[in-house]
Amino acid sequence: MPTGPVDAGVRKIKAELKTIIGKYPSSTADPHNTLFDFEADEEKLKVFDRKIQMICNSVEPFTITCIDFGEFYWNKTIYVALDEKTLKLITQLRKKLSAQLKHGKYDEEVNFDAGKSPHITVARTLQEEQYQTAKKYFHNKKFSGSFLCEGIALRKLIEGKGFTKYGVIKIYPFSKQNLTLF
């Protein structure tokens, strides 16, 4: 999940957009990058927990660099785009996770299509009119920034009266260290 100025910047942009197009499905969602999604009961979650932790223990923290805005017309989404180096690092991480999570009796439970195009969502599943207005709003806007990605957050869907939101239930820190003598 983004930190510092990137987190604050995405939140600010989401709030500005809400004043322009009105409430939209992801207007209150925390800035994040989805790697994959899954549904799990307690037993499955314990298995996934161990596997995710094992992978994160072998990953070194890396910088995520945001470069601009982008869009997916097919689901009316506006997002913050990531640079090529970041895309490669996230893809490598997704491959490691995929290899571990798909190697077991729960492999059909994991949806890796959810994160196949790494980005930070600003607005998703907009109505056509909202989407067209948002597209115009972001047409000449620029966004850049970077942050150190130090782990993965496991988020759970929380459904309440009249709302749904994801809440972080566990953080998996990256713990591989790049040790050098000189």
CATH value at residue 51: 3.90.1140.10
Residue 42 domain-assigned (yes or no): yes
- What residues have CB less than 8 Å from 162, skipping those under 6 apart? none
CB contact at 8 A, 150 and 96 = no
Q: How far apart are CA 51 and CA 48, in angstroms?
A: 5
Residue 182 domain-assigned (yes or no): no
Assess whether pLDDT exceeds 60 at residue 128: yes
Full domain range(s) for residue 84? 4-173
Burial class (CB in 10 A: 0-12, 13-18, 19+), 182: exposed
Residue 180 domain-assigned (yes or no): no
- What residues have CB less than 8 Å from 95, skipping those under 6 apart? none
Model pTM score:
0.85
Q: How far apart are CA 73 and CA 135, in angstroms?
A: 10
Q: How far apart are CA 43 and CA 84, in angstroms?
A: 37
For residues 123, 125, 129 and 130, what is the CA-based torsion angle, rounded to 10 degrees? -20
Residue 127 domain-assigned (yes or no): yes
Residue 70 domain-assigned (yes or no): yes
Residue 14 domain-assigned (yes or no): yes
Residue 89 domain-assigned (yes or no): yes
Residue 178 domain-assigned (yes or no): no
pLDDT band of 68, cuts 50, 70, 90: very high
pLDDT-wise least confident of 51-55, 113-117, 177-181: 177-181
pLDDT band of 112, cuts 50, 70, 90: low
Burial class (CB in 10 A: 0-12, 13-18, 19+), 58: exposed
User: What single letter denotes the amino acid at residue 174?
Assistant: F
* Count of domains forming the chain: 1
